[in-house]
Amino acid sequence: MAVLNKIRQRSIFLIVIIALALFSFVLADVIRNGGFSSNKAQTTIATVNGEDIPREDFVKRVEAYQRSLGPNASTTQAVNTIWEQELRKTLIRQQYENLGLTAGQDQLDDAYATFLAGNPSFQDETGQFNLALVDQYVASIQGNPQAMEAWQEFVTTTRSSILENTYINMVRAGMIATLADGELAYRLENDKINIEFVQVPYTQIADEDVPVSESEIEAYIREHRDEFEVDPMVDLQYVSFVEEPSDEDVEAARVAIAQSLEDEVIFNNVTNANDTIPGFRNTTDYADYLANNSETPFDNRWLFERDLPASVKDSVFNLEKGEIYGPYQVANTFKYSKMADAAQKFDSVNSKHILIRYQGSLRAASDVTRSKEEAEVLADSLLSVIKRDKSKFESLVADFSDDATTKENEGELGYYGPGFMVPAFDEFIYGNPVGSIGLVETDFGYHVVKVEDQKNLQRAVKIATLTKEIEPSEGTLNQVFSNATGLEVAAQDGDFRTVAEEQGVAVRPVNRVGKMDSNIPGLGNNRSMINWAFEEETKVGDVKRFNVPTGYVIAQLTRKSSEKALMSVAEASARVTPIIRNEKKAQKIREGLSGSTLEEIASSQGVTVKNATAVTMANPTLAGAGTEPMVVGTSFGKAAGEQTAPIDGNTGVFIVKVLAVNEAPVLDSYESYANQLNTSISPQVAGNLYQALRTQADIEDNRSTFY
């Protein structure tokens, strides 16, 4: 009470302190986001060439798209899809607005005829689209704001589609192949040369004889920066601490489930006497016992040997009634299996039925008006008729059965195993011999049932399985948390890998993680870790602990590029090293060449002179050398009898002598070749146009702030 009184006495003081703390928290956030004057960072998903994309509209579209994908769709997948759609729409709209393009009413009317042609609301009595019906519809919804808003949205979308197509078609028109382009294509395909050449392959020089340094790779990257520019990326390394049971926890679970076998004696305060609660060994009410003591309920089905798991089938199937097998471990559980019952059962039964539904019965159609009592009377009378004359069963199915799916097959249901039908129906067809006819009530109504056939009488069993999950104890959980926290603290000042090795945990590196990535190898979806890595306050070397479904992850940021940057030497090495190495090999080969004729050069290098005939520019492949466009292109620049200087090719250094130049005959028209070019170019225009606009655009992407 004294403490409470002191708190009351200081209530004003405490309120002021709390208010100041909250204000400082808000102030820090304001400073991070550029001050009080703007909340743009909280309302804008992106800015494209100075134009903001509002967050609210974007979020609505993402949520709608995610719903359309179903419950298993990831948020990241939906965000990235809508982002691509919104970015494309914005970039192209900016272009046609800058050009002053507009969509006239005639264009809108043509679009309506295309988009609404299949809608019966806009078709006349002949089934043809009628534009006048569109005008009537718009007039009819003038007093309906919701319908009018939907129509305006449709008009806006249609107009945008028209303008987008107009703009793309304008670009496409500017890329039409001319007759000169057609002639060039014809020449590339049909002009041919015959050559002989010497190829000194790069493989003649061992890789170790031409080392490539990191400085050379870095210089190459800078000289070809357009090829090696990458989006903002981070590298991480992390260790995992999994909350999994210890050996002691496993043994404790084994002991606990073993104790569940035996009866439990408890004192009853009402009767002042001890009560004995049956354990798994002595219980006969398996459904109740397993519902209260097991991770899995009682499966009250008859099972054949084929239905049991292969791992325990041989041990369980032939148990005597009441006999127990176990404990045995399956994944993270211990189990005991008890033979609850065993009998000879048919593995499949074929039956027929006449179903009489009533109002309120399961799946009863709206036109079923009979009461339950009337349904029972009708079913009883049908049963009496059939018992007197079994041959009438099929005709009565056609006249009275409410099961449309079996009506055309004289009421036959086909062969089904035990447990497939509802319990009452199943009990009748498996508990009575072939030819039996009876009345069965289920939630579907009343069934007049006839047992048609029974197959494969064999042993069937009911197995009660007691399952206990092997869970980490509180002590184990505390130890895992302590280990994770200890490494987190130690890694703040020490070397991350060294600290991890001292604790005996493996470090896993993750490289080239993008700002909008969601998946981290080994962890799955973990946006929180990626967002942390890209936060402005997070620096290279920072360490943080994250809670994950399996326990904890301690992560360290090892590299960070917040803006577009060039690939690191390590990232580009695999791609650049062979290029530089071949350049060095080519230089060495050139320095070692001697002789003037192909034969002399070939002899000096220990290779032979090769021949290639009917070589074209369109297919620059040399027999025995592979695809060599530089070599073939250079050769086409020579006249018959001329020899080239050494050429650095893809696979080696080449010297070529042109033996013959065979130009294709002049055509009257090259229109067909121009048309072929247009056919190949046209489908690519829209995609290439978008990529070009995206490359040149100034895009400020804030998606990671919200997702």
245-471 has the same fold as 192-228+570-662 = yes
Average pLDDT, the chain: 89
Span 140-162, mean pLDDT?
Answer: 92
pLDDT at 230 (0 to 100): 81
Instruction: Point out the least confidently predicted range of 9-23, 464-478, 500-514.
Output: 9-23
pLDDT tens digit string along 279-305?
999 999 999 999 999 999 999 889 999
pLDDT tens digit string along 588-597?
999 999 999 9
Question: What H or E segment, with its residue span, contains residue 248?
Answer: helix 247-259
108-141 b/e (C-beta count within 10 Å ≥ 16 → b): eeebbeeebeeeeebeeeeeebeeebbeeeeeee
Does residue 32 have a pLDDT over 50?
no
What number does CATH give the domain 245-471? Answer: 3.10.50.40
Question: What H or E segment, with its residue span, contains residue 492?
Answer: helix 474-493
Is residue 419 very low, low, confident or very high in pLDDT (cuts 50, 70, 90)? confident
pLDDT at 564 (0 to 100): 75
DSSP 300-327: ---B-GGGS-TTTHHHHTTPPTT-EEEE
pLDDT at 41 (0 to 100): 62
pLDDT at 206 (0 to 100): 95
Span 247-275, mean pLDDT?
Answer: 90
| Angle (CA) 83 85 90, round 5° | 95
pLDDT at 591 (0 to 100): 93
Instruction: Point out the least confidently predicted range of 361-375, 446-460, 552-566.
Output: 552-566
Does residue 311 have a pLDDT over 80?
yes
Domain 192-228+570-662 has CATH 3.40.50: no
Span 464-473, mean pLDDT?
Answer: 96
Is residue 39 very low, low, confident or very high in pLDDT (cuts 50, 70, 90)? low
Paired residues of 263 in beta bridges: none
Contact indicator for 153, 160 with CB cutoff of 8 Å = no
pLDDT at 628 (0 to 100): 97
Does residue 18 have a pLDDT over 90?
no
Closest among 499, 456, 62, 468 to 253, alpha carbons compared: 468
Closest among 458, 361, 447, 448 to 418, alpha carbons compared: 458
Burial class (CB in 10 A: 0-12, 13-18, 19+), 101: middle
Does residue 323 have a pLDDT over 90?
yes
Does residue 632 have a pLDDT over 60?
yes
Does residue 440 have a pLDDT over 70?
yes
- Each domain of the chain, given as residue ranges in start order, spans 2-38, 41-100+174-187+666-707, 105-173, 192-228+570-662, 232-244+473-563, 245-471
pLDDT at 8 (0 to 100): 35
Does residue 536 have a pLDDT over 60?
yes
pLDDT at 20 (0 to 100): 38
Span 680-702, mean pLDDT?
Answer: 90
pLDDT at 320 (0 to 100): 95
Paired residues of 356 in beta bridges: 446
Residue 652 is encoded by which pair of tokens?
Answer: 């080696």
Look-up: residue for tokens 């104790």? 259
pLDDT at 10 (0 to 100): 36
Does residue 19 have a pLDDT over 70?
no
Q: Percent of the chain beyond pLDDT 70?
A: 94
Query: CB count, 10 Å around CB of 662?
Result: 12
Q: What are the residue ranges of helices labelled H in 116-246?
A: 131-140, 145-173, 179-190, 214-223, 225-228
